[in-house]
Amino acid sequence: MPIDTKSTIDSGSPPPARRQTLAGLALLGVLVAAVVCTFAYVGGWFTPGKLTPKKFVDVFQAVDGEHAGFRRNHAKGLCVSGHFDSSGNGAAISRAAVFQPGRSEVVGRFSLGGGLPFQADTPTQVRGLGLQLTSTSGQVWRTAMINLPVFPVSTPQAFYERLQAGIPDAKTGKPDPAKMTAFNASHPESVAAVKIIKMNPPSAGFGDSTFHGLNAFVFSDSQGKSTPVRWVLEPVRSASTTALAIASATRPDDPNYLFDALIDAIHTHPLQWHLMLIVGQEGDPTNDASKPWPPSRQRIDAGMLTLDAVQSEDTSPTYQLNFDPLVLPDGIAPSDDPILSARSAVYSNSFTRRSGEHKPPSALTPASVNPK
């Protein structure tokens, strides 16, 4: 029977309309899957080994524990305020309003490195100074500086690995020295940077510390000409600042001796720093904050920073600011230093975490900040 034969032949495959439907559904599936995979790819789902801001902040927490409400690094601090009087000299290389002759309002925060908000002050712990300069036109410039002359690492990856080497061992409660030895063996650039850091011992206190911006930035003048720049705050050392700092250093029973000396000094007279712009030349490394620039580079005295008031973090709105080093005015731009984008990303992640938490009172309470 011919009809039966035909139906037998065709019975294995669907009729044309159904085949079209199946082909359409298959194509639909492929296209939808392609879109989902593209977004999963850009979101990093296929590269779980990649360094992310979250992993970075997690490793800070692994080193010093999680302290709700506090910064994940530079957790112990004190807020200050004052002003910056521009000399106008900086306007030669940057069109930023802050370098025009005149005054910018300043708020800032002195801090100690590490994630422990109640650690006892020690002379060798890294000292930080975060600043926000607001020009009369409302332009905002934030910078976070430390008292080290160079950064101990060159790249975010190396920074992450160095932090990992400092995670306390679960059994001993202390970092395994073998891990830091292994890190140093594979990072000679870090060993070289630490050698430079050790050649520059810290000053007596916060008030007579030099603070370094470390990373290079690109300044642009009004014609659009760009110049690589690093900056540094050089203290105006007065006899009384130094005396107060030295006197406080002899109070080893005071766990806040560095901060208490700072409070005493500001209540005695304003603390001042010169903002020095260091002009880079062709060949100076802009992408590596672990390498110093030659000391012969031109230095422009851009003006005087004056800090004349001090507040506890518990009462100062400055505490809430994220001193993201990439909050920059027009006329200052990031360089090719990979640490800059990493700092911005990691600060932001840390900021978001603490902004949703309740902060207990800081080590430096409003009572400890009052004149004695």
Partner 1 sequence: MPAQRTQFTMPMRILHWLMAAMVLAMLGIGFAMVSSISRYHALMSIHRPLGIAVLLVAGIRLIVRLLSPLPPFPPSVPPRERVVATASEYLMYTLLFAMPLIGWSMLSAARYPVTLFGAFRLPYIMPENPMLYWWLRKSHTVLAYLFFFTFLAHFTAILFHTLVKRDRLLRRMLPWKA
**Footprint of partner 1 (CB under 8 A):** 20-21, 24-25, 27-28, 31-32, 35-36, 38-39, 42-44, 50-54, 56, 97, 137-140, 156, 317, 320-322, 324, 326-327, 329-330, 334, 338, 340-342, 344-346, 348, 351-352, 354-356
Residue whose tokens read 């037998």: 8
For the CB of residue 81, give the shortest distance to partner 1 in the complex, in Å: 15
For the CB of residue 100, give the shortest distance to partner 1 in the complex, in Å: 12
Nearer to partner 1, 275 or 346 (CB): 346
Residue 138 CA to its chain's centroid (Å): 23
Nearer to partner 1, 301 or 336 (CB): 336
Nearer to partner 1, 34 or 246 (CB): 34
The answer to whether the beta carbons of residues 112 and 124 sit under 8 Å apart is no
For the CB of residue 26, give the shortest distance to partner 1 in the complex, in Å: 9
For the CB of residue 178, give the shortest distance to partner 1 in the complex, in Å: 27
The answer to whether the beta carbons of residues 351 and 331 sit under 8 Å apart is no
Identify the helix (H) or strand (E) that includes residue 37. helix 16-42
Measured distance CA(280)–CA(287) in Å, rounded: 12
Nearer to partner 1, 268 or 341 (CB): 341
Measured distance CA(128)–CA(193) in Å, rounded: 18
User: How far, in Å, are 305, 340, 349 from residue 58 at the CA level?
Assistant: 35, 19, 10
Which distant-in-sequence residues (6+ apart) come within 8 Å of 78 by Cβ?
Answer: 109, 110, 111, 259, 262, 263, 310, 311, 312, 313, 364, 369
For the CB of residue 121, give the shortest distance to partner 1 in the complex, in Å: 27
Nearer to partner 1, 74 or 127 (CB): 74
For the CB of residue 140, give the shortest distance to partner 1 in the complex, in Å: 5
